[in-house]
Amino acid sequence: MTGSGLGREMYALVERLYPLCRSITGDGVRATLDIVGEYVPLEIHEVPTGTQVLDWTVPQEWNIRDAYIADATGRRVVDFAASSLHVLGYSVPVAATMPLAELRPHLHTLPDHPDWVPYRTSYYRPTWGFCLSQNTLDALPEGDYEVRIDSTLADGHLTYAEHVVPGEVPDEVIVSSHVCHPSLANDNLAGIAVATHLARALAEQNPYYTYRFIYAPGTIGALTWLARNADRIDRIKHGLVLACAGDPGQLTYKKSRRGDAEIDRVMRHVLAASERPHHIKEFTPYGYDERQYCSPGFDLGVGSLSRTPYAGYPEYHTSADNLDFVSPDAMADTLALCREAFALLDRNRSYLNLSPYGEPQLGRRGLYDALGGRSDTQEAQLAMLWVLSLSDGKHSLLDVAERADLPFDTVALAARALRDAGLIKA
């Protein structure tokens, strides 16, 4: 399928997921994963309330059926049915009538953007509230209002899911996206859509690494996954957190905590070679779940890819992060970059020169003849010599490409030819 076709497919997935009310637990997460499971098979995990996960505890499960504020005539002036953003996430149940003055402390707006509705939560402090536009609030007359939040906060489960694309080796690359935000198209439905279609693409390619896709609620979900997989963390060789993958901004890569992990070098190389406008940021312990995977005790080589980064656009965590804010083309571009990066990562291995004493005769092995007619014959020949020179078990093909200032694909093809001729081995 062409990039535009894939972009439309991803956008259609975002459209399906957009109306669902997600949170860090609950049926909205399950409904989201049910839909994703139509695209890739998922292993669903349910972790009970009260489970200790590192320094955290799995919270009670939150579900909501309806919520509204109604005026004296019964008209709903704020209605959860119109948008899941209208309720403060994790609001406890409420059924009361109160004057506007008493209601105001429970109302959240964005005065600087009076038409937008903010996204707000209170996961770990029991309270309740509504989010609405400043214009709606300004139009409310004094008087009594019926307030109703039909929700439950009770012992249940935290839900997350995994999809695994088997590779030639058990060493793993993780791709993580968060599934806890309600009707926000870029943060992070676009990330979910790109991750899902990336998984489908990798499954068609018989990859070298095993790729594990993690769909989990932000922070508590990643912590839960790490706690439940601590005994196999040494398998995780590389990783990428996908978020904000569909907005019109340029691609942004945030490095791992290490700063020089292989995924950092791969992303830097691919972004530069693609000549896409992009930005590379240093690691900070603030943002998405890369901060959990990169925490000192785990210290995984996990970076984060987005377009406009965390909190970097005015629409972030507001009703303006809607279906008009993301585009098929932007998601297709993000997906293409991910595929390019993982194609490089999959081929980036170190080799050992089996004929290291002097330069081996390439002509009698047909290696020069095999290049005949190529427009880049001279470059390909140079790549072979560089691969032979740096195949000492200490340098990867990416090292070769960067030192020789050659395209990685040219270096990888040279390595394959030399390997097939018996001159190098992985």
Angle at 19 between CA 16 and CA 20, to 5 degrees: 95
DSSP structure string for 43-74: EEEEEETT-EETTEE---EEEEEEEEEE-TTS
Helix pair angle (397-404, 408-420), 10° resolution: 130
Domain regions of the chain by residue span: 3-7+158-347, 61-154, 350-425
Q: What pLDDT shows up at residue 404?
A: 96
Q: Can you give the pTM of this predicted structure?
A: 0.95
Query: Residue type for 335, please?
Result: L
**pLDDT tens-digit profile, the chain (426 residues):** 666 799 999 999 999 999 999 999 999 999 999 999 999 999 999 999 999 999 999 999 999 999 999 999 999 999 999 999 999 999 999 999 999 999 999 999 999 999 999 999 999 999 999 999 999 999 999 999 999 999 999 999 999 999 999 999 999 999 999 999 999 999 999 999 999 999 999 999 999 999 999 999 999 999 999 999 999 999 999 999 999 999 999 999 999 999 999 999 999 999 999 999 999 999 999 999 999 999 999 999 999 999 999 999 999 999 999 999 999 999 999 999 999 999 999 999 999 999 999 999 888 888 876 555 555 678 888 999 999 999 999 999 999 999 999 999 999 999 999 999 999 999
Q: What pLDDT shows up at residue 375?
A: 57
- Token duo for residue 291: 């901060």
- Token duo for residue 250: 């340029």
Q: What pLDDT shows up at residue 362?
A: 87
Q: Who contacts 348 (Cβ-Cβ below 8 Å, separation ≥6)?
A: 262, 266, 396, 397, 398, 408
Contact 71, 145 (CB under 8 A): yes
CB atoms under 10 Å from CB of 77, counted, come to: 16
- Class of the CATH-defined domain 350-425: mainly alpha
Q: Which of 3.40.50.300, 3.40.50.2000, 3.40.630.10, 2.40.40.20 would CATH assign to domain 3-7+158-347? A: 3.40.630.10
Query: Residue type for 384, please?
Result: M
- Token duo for residue 148: 């109703």
Q: What pLDDT shows up at residue 1?
A: 64
For the domain made up of 61-154, give the CATH fold: Glucose Oxidase; domain 1 (3.50.30)
d(CA 179, CA 187): 9
- Token duo for residue 412: 């990888």
> How many angstroms separate the first and last alpha carbons of the chain?
33
Q: 289 phi and psi, to 5 degrees? A: -75, 0
